Structure 1
């Protein structure tokens, strides 16, 4: 049986696919918002989030979401850096974690999923060919 849920944005009922939390219509609207933001930034590189939000009529939270997803990146130097690494708090340009924390977490994950080493079994009873000849 299909999993039916309500859209987080508009409240409409939709068939949940295990990934998207919004209905198809809201996802299309969000993609259109992203396209507008991307086009504005292409024409106005270095614009602040508030400028982009005002000019494109896209909420600042949605623009921050695009930055966290890695779909947009902060360029240039200065005080416009608004993203912090969720682990150490260092300023970052895109995503959720800085490169150092991402590498550390990847190492931890590789270590956590490493298959356990098999313990060497101690062989107590050994048989040699000479033993077999004596038994004949």
Structure 2
């Protein structure tokens, strides 16, 4: 089924495949901008968010999105935190969750996964014959 959307950047209609909601042309431009950003940060490791934004003409919001996506991280021992954990509000340098909340989330997901797995296993009746066999031509006609 098609998931037709308007591109967030240019407004053109396109079939949404994944996030972010960008058409192929704008997605390509965004990837090229990210490569420039990565190269700039490699050559200017102490650059601030404002410097990067001004030098490369990339919005601060886009750079923050890259941080949220985990594609970038605030360097070293910097006291500069631009993001907050989506769960508890603690300051973070990259991603969506702090280490504690990520650990809790992982633990909960593993627990639910085990419960679902156990539930599926318990529903299978061991007395039932689940063997697969080949049907001969004459058996199929019956």
Relative to the length of structure 2, the TM-score reads 0.74
Aligned twin of 1:35: 35
Structure 2's unaligned 5+ residue stretches are 123-142
Please say which of residues 14-23 and 102-111 is displaced more in the overlay. Answer: 14-23
Q: Kindly indicate whether structure 1 or structure 2 has the higher relative contact order, using CA contacts under 8 Å at least 6 residues apart.
A: 1
Moved over 6 A (4+): none
Aligned twin of 1:47: 47
Find the aligned partners of 2:37 and 2:20 in 1 and give their Cα distance.
Answer: 21
Q: CA RMSD in A?
A: 2.0
Aligned twin of 1:107: 107
* Maintained 8 Å contact 1:46/1:76: no
Relative to the length of structure 1, the TM-score reads 0.77
Aligned twin of 1:9: 9
* Change in CA separation of 1:20 and 1:56 when aligned onto 2, cut-off 3 Å: closer
Q: Which structure has the larger Rg over C-alpha atoms?
A: 1
Aligned twin of 1:80: 80
Find the aligned partners of 1:53 and 1:20 in 2 and give their Cα distance.
Answer: 20
* Maintained 8 Å contact 1:72/1:94: yes
Find the aligned partners of 1:20 and 1:68 in 2 and give their Cα distance.
Answer: 12
Find the aligned partners of 2:75 and 2:102 in 1 and give their Cα distance.
Answer: 20
